[in-house]
Amino acid sequence: MVAWAAMPLVKPLRALRYDAAKAGPLDDLVAPPHDVITPEKQARLLGASPYNAVRLVRPDDPDEAAGMLDDWRQTGILVRDEEPAVWVLEEEYAGADGTVRTRGGLAARVRLEPYELGRILPHERTFQKAKDTRLALLRATRTKLSPVLLLHEGEGPEPLSRPPDLEAELDGARSRLWRLGEPAVIEQALERIQGRLIIADGHHRYETALRFHQEEGSEETGHVLAVLVSRDDPGLTIFPTHRVVTGPPPELDGRFRLESLEGDAAAAIAALDRLPRDRAAFVLLRPEGAVLALADQPGLDTVVVDRLALEGVSFTASAAEAEAAVASGRARAAFLVRPPELADVEAVALSGERMPEKSTYFFPKLTSGLLFSPFDE
């Protein structure tokens, strides 16, 4: 395996972060990344603090976010580290089964490179409209506001016994951060990052940052804020991303082996999980009931559903939310799927293929607002 620490792929950063003495408790300041902020959650975060990061990562207007960011820096709400560092991140959360898990990673800057170079690889497609929205925000703020989650082949960071430098809880996930600023310690931490990097979450953020860098063409815009996690980390969890549709559901007769199901969405998921992974499958939820559909061919569930050419698609990791949308009439149908396994993600990325958009949901999402990284290094 190749250690990238000897190469300029991963670097420390001079983080921009909240001064709790002026901004208030960090729990009130952090937010999820842009793509999972519902209107209800946004309203709650806006009410939590006038300095909550949601005002930056999901603003009404990019220029307003840029002005707010500049004002917070001038008034000391946000302060800049004088010296570069990397940060050990520990995220403690409860999975869907109730088991408490911990995911460990290293926050740093990662050089932006085209996928064709083969050192940073995607595993799913992206939406152009979403990238256009993020690009406008990036041009205005010139700051990396949310990190990208990357997987590598090496070891995770060594655990630290001292109290964390930063700590915050968001939606049941507790993030703890330790700053590593000594050059020798930074080098040791970076040496553990090895092999090619696979984007687990944040494809839109990565591709938008790369486009911005290609527009600017400067060394200062050449890196993205990232958290690098070992592929062997026991805390890696992938949730499914179900499809909710407002358009007419397609006819499935003759295309799949069908079985009517009784019970709620949880029972449907249980039936789906009992199936072997050698063939694609999904559950179609309609007002008149649920149907388990088993494909004749191998493959991922989201790939088979994607071929159905659905109309008016939205996404959720919650089967209960998908069921409620159908029951209320807000959706005409929902397609419940199983999450890809980590081996599937690796195989797709290394083969140069891509899954459909929103095929994976690495849980928990990385918290925004712990560290920001301006494009000026």
Give per-residue pLDDT as tens, 38-90: 999 999 999 999 999 999 999 999 999 999 999 999 999 999 999 999 999 99
Torsion over CA of 6, 150, 369 and 183, rounded to 10 degrees?
-20
pTM confidence score: 0.93
Which residues share a beta bridge with 104? 90
pLDDT tens figures, 155-175:
999 999 999 999 999 999 999
Q: Could you report the per-residue pLDDT of 333-374, keeping only the tens digit for each?
A: 999 999 999 999 999 999 999 999 999 999 999 999 999 999
Residue in 141, 88, 122 with CA at minimum distance from that of residue 376: 141
CB atoms within 10 A of CB 205: 28
Residue 177 in this model has a pLDDT that exceeds 80: yes
* End-to-end CA gap in the chain: 29
The neighbour count for residue 48, using CB atoms within 10 Å, is: 17
pLDDT of 5 higher than 60: no
Using pLDDT thresholds of 50, 70 and 90, give the confidence band for residue 21: very high
